[in-house]
Homo-oligomer: A and B are copies of this chain.
Amino acid sequence: MLDASRATVELLIQHRTSDLSIKEMAAHAGISERTFYRYFPRKEDVVRPFFQSGLRRIVTNFNARPEYESILDSLRAVWSDAWPVQDAEASRLLFHILESQDSYRAVRLQVVIDSELLWAEAIARRLGIDAHSRQAMFAGAAVVTAFRMAWQAFSLDRSLDPIETLMANVDIFKEILLAPA
């Protein structure tokens, strides 16, 4: 399922457009149309596993960072190696393709927003607070917002450095992310 998602994203990038039929997607992923619909309730859900796995991997890496490291340093570290696609230019292209159709954009945003919960848990663990507390929830939202805006800025402006952009964003929420209680 993740494989099929990856294969389809690859096809989207190849064709530089979001106008692909189910037939084309299924064929390139090497599965039948019927199976395609078992994996993805709606056509645009095809990008969901791709982004989910990427986002989850970042959080997992964050959780694997040493305790003594500051949250800001950890964020810098995990952001460095975790990109949705290896090539920066392909990443930008994918952003624009998915941005061009509301249906894809909406799904991508939903996946991103849903990762707030993972980040809330991760930050809460670090700060030693309750993962369901208001503070933890908003710390999660802050991290995701910083990611989201950095990715957008990076995709729109070729001259930006992704890591520095993220860190500048995170800096704004510093207090929220550092206050222990």
Residue ranges of A at the interface with B (Cβ–Cβ < 8 Å): 41-42, 45, 102-103, 105-107, 109-110, 113, 134-135, 137-138, 141, 145, 149, 168-169, 172-173, 175-176
Residues of B within 8 A of A169 (CB): 134, 138
A109 to B144, CA, bound (A): 14
Instruction: List the B residue with the shortest CB-CB distance to A41.
Output: B102
Among the listed B45, B102, B105, B175, which residue makes an inter-chain contact with A102, where contact means beta carbons less than 8 Å apart? B45
B110–A172 contact, CB under 8 A? no
Which of A45, A110, A149, A175 has most chain B Cβ within 10 Å?
A: A110
14 contacts across the A-B interface (CB closer than 8 A): A42-B102, A102-B110, A106-B106, A106-B107, A109-B110, A109-B113, A113-B113, A134-B169, A138-B145, A138-B149, A141-B145, A141-B149, A172-B176, A173-B176
